Structure 1
Amino acid sequence: MDSYLKKIIQEYRTDMESVYQTWFINNDERLKAFRTIRNGIKQVIEEIEQNEFGNDFRGSSLEVVVTAIAEQKQVFEGAAHAFYWKPKLRIPDIYENEDNKKAFARFLKSCLQNTNEKQLLEEILKLHNIGIKGLGPAVANILYFLHPTIFPPFNTAIVNGFNSLFKEKVKLGSWTEYLRMREKILDFNKRHGSLLSKDLGAVAGLFFEIGITRIVIPENHEVVLNQLEKREKNNKKRHKDVVNDGIENHDHTEMQYHLATLGSSLGYHIWIARNDHKREWNQKKLGEFSMQQLGLSYDIPFQVRDTISLIDVLWIDQNGSIVCAFEVEKSTSIYSGILRLYDLALTMNHQNCKFYLVAPNKREKEIQAQLLRPSFQHEQMCSISYVLFSDLRCDCDAMCKFGIDANVLNKISKTIL
């Protein structure tokens, strides 16, 4: 049995279009998402505690969190569905029922503050015993981004893959079923950890691929035969997504290159996101433009510094202060980019810094709409401008030649009134 399972895992790991390759190990956005989601959860808790949460999912801080989760490639597609307010069914009952709302906030707060597995499981059982209508183990997708080595993600495809591989009958919508599945997943991951990861996103991706029949095993071969057309359609979509990701990564690298050359010409030190140093543009590695260590003039906690090091491009002055921060958004969410810049602004405690989104021209209307979200229209929100790919590409050389300082970006950047 072990050799059979190892063969399946190896197929999963070596398929260059599997979620293991495209999401788990080769996706910068995955790393950035953890802190974004964690901070979003803090906002949910704070708003509920201060009676500012409201009575709908749309426009709420919870929508911010779940949207950031849903953007994490195929594994989390549809993660938001369980949280949409369904008024006819009055579910999930965390919007109109104040007691349930407070209980949900207490649960999130406990899970945010605790790292002990036993305590976390007790919190799940407490939530389960309250019996909040419509609030089931879809919440595990939130827990994964708080404790990725303790809680696996949970959705229909993952359950289907798990059931197929282990000939189980785990059902959706039940915390007890989720916890039973989790125990078996942890045992499986422990036995095959050297081929997977302590981060349970890797093993969940394996079950996901089996569940959508991308990986064919004896236990799901009948489903494959009955859904050949659907399977072919899904595989074509996956291939198209991978190709598009490659094109977008190419554009992303180009924009980082232009920002690095412009910042250098203006006399700033440059920081390139630490996991992008090996990317190349114009026969140069981006790391050649970057400081080797992120040196700043102010003290920042280690975890926060780690997050800042993933911002796509930073311009830093001679005193070690960040002058400009840039998030380059291609197909990834403008939403998440705004959250990361806002997170950086809070960390810097109102230091004199400008924040920019850099995005394709076709996404300009989306940028404007996202920046006008009610959740981004408050006094503490930092001012974010945006720069379009075409303007940076066209005007970079001229700005390098005639620019004096960061104000040269005023010529090509735009803001929302």
Structure 2
Amino acid sequence: MTELLNVVRQYKQDPESVYSTWFINNEDRLKAFRSIRRGVLTVVQDIKTGSFGNDFKGSSLEFVLTCITEQKQVFEGAAHPFYWKPKLRIPDIYENEANKVAFGQFLETCLSATKEEQLVKQIIKLSERNIKGLGPAVASILYFLHPTLIPPFNTAIVNGFNLLFNEKQKLGSWTSYLKMREVILHTNAQYRTELSTDLGAIAGLLFEIGANKLLIESSAALDDTQKTKVEKLLKKRHAEVLSEQQEEDLHTEMQYHLVKIGHALGYDVVVASNDRSKAYQDSKFSFLCIPCLPKMEADQDTFNTIGLIDVLWLEKGTNRVVSAFEVEKSTSIYSGILRLSDLAVSFPHNLRTLFLVVPNQREKEVILQLKRPSIKQQNVPIQYILFSELRQHCDAICKFGTDHNAMTKIAKVA
């Protein structure tokens, strides 16, 4: 018990661990839950209407897995088990219509489930169908639907589990997954005050152990080759953390430019609820923005989603949104589109301008996403602004701009 407690604390205290860089103080992680849930709803609807297709590429399932794989290295390879491999005919949910429907029904039931036994029952039913190539990788999707009940699952997590608990559970087996889940839930309950009710915390611990980024007693005796491998992994992780920090700084800078312009144009400005303590250089957002998003006539889930939009401009002293901006540095452009769409659909009679703000190198990607038929059908007029344009013209718009329409001068339409 003491040994495991020490491992948990070592994991939490490491500033570059998954716990520190992904699980806590990470607004992208919080945003992902809503985007992935809505994406899964789209997958179910596409299967129902027969528009899902017979390939992973370009499907609504690809959007879901893209959002998941952006969630730190824990989920880096989460999409691979879902790629359609024609020669192997796996996973058999694209060309086999019965399997496709079964997968859709499984996702729909899990979406609406409220109890642990309902989820386990659905997992067992899916396992009994023996759909070729469709294994416990699905658990990584379920985690984002039920983070307190379903732990994610991948090679590193299995390896970490086997090392920590001296087990021999298998990667592709639902039976092994369910056994692992029971042990994970029991252990998490024992150390809940150190970890979290959200199973992402303990899954990150297992991942760090399985990837040899956190050494435990049973794996501490390494030969020179293994030591070299561990050193390379730790260097790679350090480089990733530095890169993420640079991206976060760039995201904050772009938010600041938008806050500064909105303030100069005379609007009330709100930043995402989890960004209000941020500052760029010597300018704190709390000094330029109103304290919180005013109450709106929307259900609580939608209101919470709107509250995660990076920057909102409102008419002075009102709750009417004039412009909304989603800054997408490396995260899913699709999830940003969803949040802007939620705003537009919730308040269809209010005229507003909606913008994605993206790095120059992602211009082709944003055009592709905005031109998707499923996005165009929503008839939500979203424009995009490149980082370089916002940075270059910020001061000029502050000085010479009269209202929100000034932003359309530097914006583009897909």
Normalised by the length of structure 2, the TM-score is 0.95
Whether the 8 Å CA contact 1:60–1:375 is kept in 2: the answer is: no
Whether the 8 Å CA contact 2:306–2:342 is kept in 1: the answer is: no
- Please give the secondary structure, in 2, of the residue aligned with 1:271: strand
**1:124 alignment partner AA:** I
Instruction: Check if 1:391 corresponds to 2:389.
Output: yes
**1:195 alignment partner AA:** E
**1:380 alignment partner AA:** Q
Partner Cα separation in structure 1 for residue 204 and residue 125 of structure 2 = 28
Give the total of aligned pairs.
413
- Please give the secondary structure, in 1, of the residue aligned with 2:206: helix
Partner Cα separation in structure 2 for residue 140 and residue 276 of structure 1 = 30
Which of 296, 306, 320 does residue 308 from structure 1 map onto?
306
Whether the 8 Å CA contact 2:55–2:94 is kept in 1: the answer is: yes
Partner Cα separation in structure 2 for residue 346 and residue 132 of structure 1 = 38
Instruction: Please tell me the root mean square deviation across aligned C-alpha atoms, in Å.
Output: 1.7
Whether the 8 Å CA contact 1:325–1:354 is kept in 2: the answer is: yes
Partner of 1:400: 398
Give, in angstroms, the shift of residue 230 of structure 1: 2.9
Partner Cα separation in structure 2 for residue 253 and residue 74 of structure 1 = 22
Partner Cα separation in structure 2 for residue 345 and residue 145 of structure 1 = 25
Partner of 1:202: 201
User: After TM superposition, which residue ranges in structure 1, 4 or more long, deviate above 6 angstroms?
Assistant: none
Partner Cα separation in structure 2 for residue 217 and residue 236 of structure 1 = 19
Partner Cα separation in structure 2 for residue 8 and residue 132 of structure 1 = 38
Structure 1 residues 15-414: aligned runs within 5 Å: 15-221=14-220, 225-296=224-295, 298-318=296-316, 319-349=318-348, 351-373=350-372, 375-376=374-375, 378-414=376-412
Alignment identity in percent? 56
- Please give the secondary structure, in 2, of the residue aligned with 1:380: coil
Partner Cα separation in structure 1 for residue 345 and residue 225 of structure 2 = 52
Normalised by the length of structure 1, the TM-score is 0.95
Partner Cα separation in structure 2 for residue 65 and residue 367 of structure 1 = 17
Of 176-185 and 390-399, more deviation after overlay is shown by 390-399
Of 343-352 and 51-60, more deviation after overlay is shown by 343-352
Give, in angstroms, the shift of residue 240 of structure 1: 1.1
**1:314 alignment partner AA:** L
CA deviation map 1:260-287 (0-9, x unaligned): 1211222221111111111112422112
Give, in angstroms, the shift of residue 361 of structure 1: 2.3
Of 339-348 and 76-85, more deviation after overlay is shown by 339-348
- Please give the secondary structure, in 2, of the residue aligned with 1:275: coil
Give, in angstroms, the shift of residue 301 of structure 1: 1.4
The 1:184–1:225 alpha-carbon spacing in structure 2 relative to 1, beyond 3 Å, is: farther
**2:31 alignment partner AA:** K
Q: What runs of 5+ residues in structure 1 fail to find an aligned partner?
A: none
Give, in angstroms, the shift of residue 360 of structure 1: 2.3
**2:176 alignment partner AA:** E
The 1:225–1:212 alpha-carbon spacing in structure 2 relative to 1, beyond 3 Å, is: farther
Of 95-104 and 200-209, more deviation after overlay is shown by 95-104
